[in-house]
Chains A and B, each alone.
Chain A
């Protein structure tokens, strides 16, 4: 049976390079892309990748994508996914609120992988040794989560917001392991691809930032080179096998953070268990995963009269019905 790999943001950069390589090695690849258009273009370059379009800044679209991926896995691969690569990422020069009211980088770089992973856990579990590889970055060093305003709304600084989201990737990987690695026999890793020559710093920026990235990216390695660590963790069959035994080391000795096909010490803050737990709980709430428990939060959408007795509520007034 083929290995089944899911890669987000597989239409360009590191994600596309990794997808091509997995295909070459005989795996089945389901890739996601931001729009039908970008998926179409990428599919023309590699017909073997199955694409699903989803704008991951939208929680609804993350949920829809997860449902489509599950369906594919069920119909083609007996309901299993071996590796989930959370690669899609964005850098935005400006504060932008998503349709859910969250900051764009926090939503795409952290909340989307968080929600998608949680939704695909049953399939990853079905693999028997599922792996979740989240693409973090060296930017995660020397920064903290801004708990007072995780969305950096009022004093937005694009670099700070990016660094925070990449730190969140490492914290998430730690907490994921702590919660599920034994129970489901899955493993989570965070990968630092190094400086890579891709368009990430040019798509949603302008001026100085765009100019600076234009120069900086030229010093980066190729996306193909950057993808090697992902392949290594997923397949463990590159020629160099010095660190192979560390990939599946016992959980307590597990190396979470990898760069250039070898383990590396992540930033100190990323190993703060309390922060990881707090981030997990915040993310659960923001992804609406805690709602089932919080029964009072939502009213019947058809309610006509606002009930303001509790502490919070959302009331939709059905205007179309009246017309």
Chain B
């Protein structure tokens, strides 16, 4: 019986890297993202590279109706899954005051709500013949309260705690949960420019997406609880635990002010 790897946010930089990595490992893919034409091109490209089955469907994960359509399809066709990779997530860069209510709402709905609901659903459609694995993409930002990325960083903190907690709950059901906390990854040109703006510090926390995706899958297969790419980033995480949160927040705010001028 065939079962799939489900990747949300598959058309983004990190999502594509995960899709390619899984395809290389010979796993059949179920890809979803917001835009159909980008998914179509990606699916065609991956299909030319690897001998696997790819199913793709657009779904606005912040929209309840759209999500229900996705599940209906899965149920009708009795699709089974052995891996869920929650990549979809977003941020609108800039000050809290400059964000609209709708933007803030979308961040929470996608970064938090969609990840939780997806996890809950896809476990029901798991392939019982195999270990079920989950990768949740959190961020290094989860370790600090982050001015300028306040809502985003807090949403990523949610994902981290959520992952660690359900991991314990699901241990005996042959389910592994791995959280990924990347620093910056130049997954598209906009992100690259933003990393550039942060100068030396930005580059130090940056890792290549292809490498990150590959190592994250390895970590998940070993049942690890957390993967942080790059040793400098691991150091940052430790610092995040040692130094009081308020001081870190001040420091980050200073850096941002510096980067913006």
Residues in chain A within 8 A of chain B (CB atoms): 58-60, 93-102, 151-156, 204, 206-207, 285-286, 288, 291, 297, 305-306, 308, 311-317, 319-320, 322-323
A146 to chain B, nearest CB (A): 13
Q: Are A207 and B203 in contact (CB under 8 A)?
A: yes
Dominant secondary structure of chain B at its interface with chain A:
helix
Could you tell me if B56 and A97 are in contact, using CB atoms closer than 8 angstroms? no
Chain B residues positioned under 8 Å from A312 (CB to CB): 47, 50-53
Q: Tell me the chain B residues, 1-41 only, with Cβ under 8 Å from chain A.
A: 2, 11, 13, 16-17, 19-21, 28, 36, 38-41
**How far is it, in angstroms, between the C-alpha of A234 and the C-alpha of B55 when the chains are bound?**
47
B residues at A contact (CB < 8 Å): 2, 11, 13, 16-17, 19-21, 28, 36, 38-59, 65-66, 69-70, 73, 77, 79, 186-189, 192, 195-196, 200, 203, 206, 208-211, 214
CB pair B41 A155 closer than 8 Å:
no
Q: Known contacts A101-B42, A319-B57; is A314 also within 8 Å of B47 by CB?
A: yes
**Can you name 12 extra interface pairs (CB under 8 A) apart from A95-B210, A314-B54, A315-B54?**
A94-B208, A95-B209, A97-B209, A98-B45, A151-B210, A156-B211, A308-B2, A314-B43, A314-B47, A315-B53, A316-B43, A323-B69
Bound: A116/B206 CA distance, A? 35
Majority secondary structure of chain A interface residues (helix, strand, loop or mixed) = loop
CB pair B42 A316 closer than 8 Å: no
CA distance A20 to B209 in the complex (A): 39
- Interface pair A94/B48, CB less than 8 Å apart: no
Q: CB-nearest residue of chain B relative to A152? A: B210
A-B contact count (CB 8 A): 126
Q: Which residues of B contact A151 (CB under 8 A)?
A: 20, 210
By the criterion CB–CB under 8 Å, are A204 and B57 in contact?
Answer: no
User: In the complex, what residues of A have CB within 8 A of residue B57's CB?
Assistant: 316-317, 319
Q: Is the CB of A99 within 8 A of B192?
A: no
B residues less than 8 Å from A288 (CB atoms)? 44, 48
A288 to B65, CA, bound (A): 35
Taking a contact as CB atoms under 8 Å apart, the answer to whether A286 and B53 are in contact is no
B20: contacting residue among A58, A97, A297, A319, CB under 8 A: A97
A59 CB contacts on chain B under 8 angstroms: 41, 45
The interface residues of chain B lying within 8 Å CB-to-CB of A285 are 48
Minimum C-beta distance from A305 to chain B (A):
6
Given known contacts A153-B20, A204-B192, A322-B69, A315 and B56 CB-to-CB distance under 8 angstroms: yes
Q: Which residues of A contact B53 (CB under 8 A)?
A: 306, 308, 312-315
Question: Within the complex, which residue of A101, A206, A291, A320 is in contact with B19, where a contact is CB–CB below 8 Å?
Answer: A101
- Say how far B218's CB is from chain A's closest CB, in angstroms: 11
